[in-house]
Structure 1
Amino acid sequence: MDRFIIEGGYPLQGTVTPSGNKNAALPILAATLLTDQEVVIRNLPQIKDVETMLEILAHLGVKIHRLGDKELALRARNVRSTEIDPQLTRRIRASILLSGPLLARCGGISLPPPGGDVIGRRRLDTHLMALRSLGAQIEVGSRYEMRTTGLVGREIFLDEASVTGTENALMAACLAQGTTIIRNAASEPHVQDLARFLNQLGGKISGLGSNTLVVEGVDGLHGGEYEIEPDHIEVGSFIACAAVTGGELLIRNGKPEHLKMILFVFRRLGIEVEVRGNDLFVPRHTSLKVVADAHGAIPKIDDAPWPGFPADLMSIAIVVATQAEGTVLFFEKLYESRMFFVDKLIAMGARLILCDPHRVVVVGPARLHGEIMESPDIRAGMALVVAALCAEGQSV
């Protein structure tokens, strides 16, 4: 499906269970290359990126058996190729995550430039630096040609807290000789999920949830079973949908411990969420009001590496602010093109000022009306869905 037709103005009500975290599923699938034993993965999200990653793995020789809609058994007994098909890599940026596992397992990979959403400059230098530190020789041309005669653990300081850069280093270090210390590591829930998966298969990773990860290299990983944790970005999206439409929503297995900063930011936008054990309840909101800073100053909401507010929820938070009484400054620090979707909101009736590629001021509340729109990226697309749900009339 390449379009949605949405009739706005109806409150969302009911009970939902979030999908498994896409950003955990993709590196976990890549990590199955590290063992020749069978691995069973549960709670896989049913999305195109996962299907593309499975196509790549099948091309490399991984045997895949579907055990259910969200459950797979995979076995990489024989990896028959380390050359990745460019037709597949251009469809998914996460193809870069194959580098660490294939270097560790097979001693090399020939990788075309990865594709994916265009939301700003998304450099790969952190990946290359980390893998070179572990002993990989890398030539950058029309493809990334990576080779090693053996990975050796060492201390790595990442120049940025890159999620996928951290994940590549983790996977490569699992089978490296000796100890690897990764400093300035990303600590997002999906990085922790990958580390737990690797430990389940016999890896020795400590420091989960912190910015320093210690990996004791092992001779090999065994098989096992693992269930992917729920997607905190999807949970945040459901909360926003319920709040802006005036609905009531119960979110099962929402993993509240991953939502502290998300719930804090939503409270600043007037959204109250009840935590009920491992579930969350969004009560009916008749109106939203921005909580001003001291002395009535305009609050600033910005994104940051974990445990800061996730960049992937900035677009949705902007939509929520269009429905809240008050003024908010949003500062997008990580991606310089992510704010450019706001012209769609202006066309719907939102009152916004795009200050520069990183900052936008939102003055609410505004009555939005339906529009025909085109989404520039997946996160903007979800934000436009939220906007369409609370708008008057039909949106496409």
Structure 2
Amino acid sequence: MINRKQQLIQMFLNSLATITPNSLLSRVNHLANLPEEFYLFGSGKAAATMAKSLEESCLSQIQGGTIVSNMPNVCLQKVQHLLSSHPIPSKQSLIAGEILQKELNNLGKDDHFVYLLSGGTSALIEKLPPEITLRDLQNLTEQLLYKGADIHELNTTRKHFSLIKGGKLAQDIVAQGIVLVISDVIGDDLTTIGSGILYGDNTTKEDAKRILVKYHLWEQLSFSMQQVIQKSKVLCEPKNNIRHIVIANNQFVLKHLKTQLQEQKISTRIVTTKMHGEATCIAESIANTAKDALSQSSPFSLPLCLLYGGETTVTVTGTGKGGRNQELALAILSHLQNVKGISVLCAGTDGIDGNTNVTGAVVCGEMYNTQIAEYLQNNDSYHFFDKYGGHITTGKTGTNVMDIVMIFIEKENDI
């Protein structure tokens, strides 16, 4: 008998292999004509592993530089590697932001640089105006995450409190640059990936204030923070000397998953690469779609696999432990009582889910039990799967193209 849960996990792992640094290097060579000599910079969850891979193939071309990541134990030969923090910025974030800005601004107009940009950048590097303390920013970031703000809302707010985000890092750079981007946002919006540090921005102080009001945080801000917002003038335009190239995104991984499934003669549909919203609400929609596909009147032929990509959010009201992928998987399971023939995988491509050391979870209807509601109410999905099984663990993958949901649907007598 085929173990569908293990099958889904293996296909997910196979697809992760397509966005490893070595795998992406061939895409880099195809998409970007790298200079004969260049300085190498970067920030994000994938920056260190990408830099190591690039050094292996282009060592003689690299003249120096700095990489900032949260990946320990990555040794680089020609580039300094700074460890910083994620998802909450720290003193290391401020140090890294200062160093990157100084080194990039010191390059001449005849110099070339390559910048490796990926998710996590917004926390890993920062430079603050004198009116704002690091603790101010940490508290605000914690509150926005706790209240379920999505990446666009989070980065919009960050840009208006920063001296390097929203394209401001690029303003004094005269060198010629290529930014290789691993997208962790819906639609590959370059103003949002890494808070658009080298690209630009089109948000306004009114946008930032509206988000803070939405989450009931505006009145909690200090007077100096409110003043920074009121005086904010981001609106930086992209610079002609810095070119951005997206080398990997969520759709890239979903297409690889679809190819794997079709090679096994399994009908497959990519439902969306723009999944977003509260995890429990998305879960109900996904579960209903899967159950509809099982019904006698369904136009779909089975077995069928539905693929979703994107990033949900969780508004934390309990005291438990978990992450958006575990919460999404558990919430889907809550709708599968007495349902056989549906297996679901929810996992993050960065290998980290929330405040846990797991990637996500895989479930099927047979795992349903009456305690699910209690675990969900306490935002304690981690301990549910720790007790009943279902966790997926990869460790930090060194990359990030948002989250993947796979729903495998088959007739009960085919299981």
TM-score (normalizing by structure 1): 0.31
TM-score (normalizing by structure 2): 0.30
